[in-house]
Chains A and B, each alone.
Chain A
Amino acid sequence: MAGALSLAWGVTAHRPALLRQVLRSFSVTAVRNQETGAAVAAASIDSRKSPLILDEKFPDSNSIVVPREAWIETLDTSAASTQVGLIHLHPQVFGANPRLDLIHENVTWQKKFRMVNYAHTKVRSEVRGGGKKPWPQKGLGRARHGSIRSPLWRGGGVTHGPRAYTTHFYMLPFSKRLQGLTATLSAKFAQDDLKIVESLDMPSDEAGYLEQLCENRRWGISVLFVDDSDIMPRNITLASDTLRHMNLMPVYGLNVHSMLKHETLVLTVAAVRRIEERILYHFRRPDLPKENMKRFRM
């Protein structure tokens, strides 16, 4: 494999340190790719184009976790190789502690904050009838009752029943929403469900092309494509239009629920850098404690 790689990366043969990194990432993070013959693909990397190497060191990182490494892929199957480069991901965003409880809190919040419960039951005064005392208080030897719609009666009112409209709106603290995003991105990356592509440009606008691509890459049934801009390339928009399990989303719409709803999350390089910039801005802003104290206002 090393031989194949050194052949493939002939363009960058004068950078042994980089090669080491590539090898390490190959052996540590890209196990599944290895099984699917990524070594063969890497061997035939397009030597005409110089590979995209984004090996940032993140000296400003607050985390002691080493930067994550990932392949940059392309959606163009006619290219000589699926991999076109290598990217380093910020450890505070893609190597955060995967707090599954926070992910769960975020998902619950996303479900509940827009939920309105329409279930409704009538109390004894709202049930039709029941104004008359069914029988005299004394003298009949029967239990005393004042209304046939009492909760004790069949067909009577309901005590402590659901009352419409019950809203379940609440806001999760800002920091928890932030950590939910980093935890989900980190968990997705750790499970090899986060892929990075150069851009969302495709040579074809056929739905079958996209389906075949995802199947060949073993991206699973449902895939979420995230780009920096909300104006997506024409071909992928048309191809994913009829596929309800392949969705497109801009970075500003990225959320925990959607990431977990899809099996694979595909980010463009621009989207990765945008996500890092936004999340790190919030982590480092001086008024973050004040943001957490803020009450929600409509």
Chain B
Amino acid sequence: MASQGTEKALALLRRLPRVSLGNLKPNPGAVKSARRGRGIYGGKTHGAGSKGSGQRQNFMRLGFETGNTPFYLRFPYQNYYKGHHMRLSYAPLCMGKLQRMIDTSRLRTDVPVDITQLSATQLFSINPMEKMGGIMLKDEGIDHFQATLNLEVQWATEAVITSVERNGGTITVAYYDPISLQAALNPMAFFKRGVAIPRRMLPPQNLIDYYSDPKNRGYLADPTEVARERFVLAQKYGYELPDIRSSPNQEMLLERKDPRQIFYGLQPGWVVNLEDKVILKPTDPELLEHYAS
């Protein structure tokens, strides 16, 4: 018998009395009756003292070092925490895991991969309200990365850019303001609201430099500069840059969003009607000017 477990259980049930409301019970030992002890070790506080962590929790508070000055109080000033309340955090995605998502068909590779496609896998929890900026690519597993992708993420390092471009792919880092990010994370919920696709905001002052740098493949950088940097990086790491122009999926690899655009092919100001399957475009010149890039 191959599936002995379930089949055996079902065969056992066949000869047993009918499962009904009258003969159900939990697993032995699963339910503990809540009893309030009295007298010794019980009584007033049950040995837990009074007030605070002694009474309410079973472990020491975070960072407490039983008598030493805790690490977080030992140094008066730590420079790398400066402005932490303003900074964005990013959901990490290792390159090895990205490859595994492609191997298990979890991610579509026939279209450009952006934050919308990545969040559609439901493997990330990104909350723009908690100052999350999107997804960052980590270089773990870059040796196994073999896919040819058109990637758009919010943060990437040089090693990651190398591994993507060596395989003939392209990568862009792009900023999404919280409202655009929320729309990009769950486009169906956004379209159901029936409002116009917003204009993507430009990055804040501290991120302008990062997103305009061709070395980071920033979305605000000059495309000719980016092409040059692609070549420079190939020279630096000693690989031959595959020619995208001769690639069969050239069209997909060269698809880019406008800096004001959230979804590929859909302009800000348009309204998507999911019910009638049509797109409504404004014709008013004032509106067109407002939504223009």
Contact = CB atoms under 8 A, between A and B. Distances in A.
A95 interface: yes
27 contacts: A64-B2, A64-B3, A65-B3, A66-B3, A97-B9, A98-B6, A98-B13, A98-B19, A101-B26, A103-B24, A186-B10, A187-B19, A188-B19, A190-B13, A190-B14, A191-B13, A191-B16, A191-B19, A192-B14, A193-B18, A260-B20, A260-B24, A261-B20, A263-B18, A286-B123, A287-B122, A289-B122
A107 B6 CA distance: 22
Interface of B: 2-3, 5-7, 9-11, 13-14, 16, 18-21, 24-27, 30, 36, 121-123, 125
Interface residues of A, number: 32
A108 B16 CA distance: 22
A105 interface: yes
Contact of B11 (A66, A108, A190): A190
A290 interface: yes
B122 A290 contact: yes
A257 interface: yes
Contacts of B25: 104
B26 A107 contact: no
A260 B19 contact: yes
Contacts of B125: 290
Contacts of A105: 26
A100 B25 CA distance: 8
Given A107-B21, A187-B13, A192-B14, 6 more contacts: A64-B2, A64-B3, A188-B19, A190-B10, A263-B18, A286-B121
- Centre residue among A65, A66, A263 by max chain B CB count within 10 A: A65
B7 A65 contact: yes
B205 to A, nearest CB: 35
A190 B27 CA distance: 21
Contacts of B5: 97
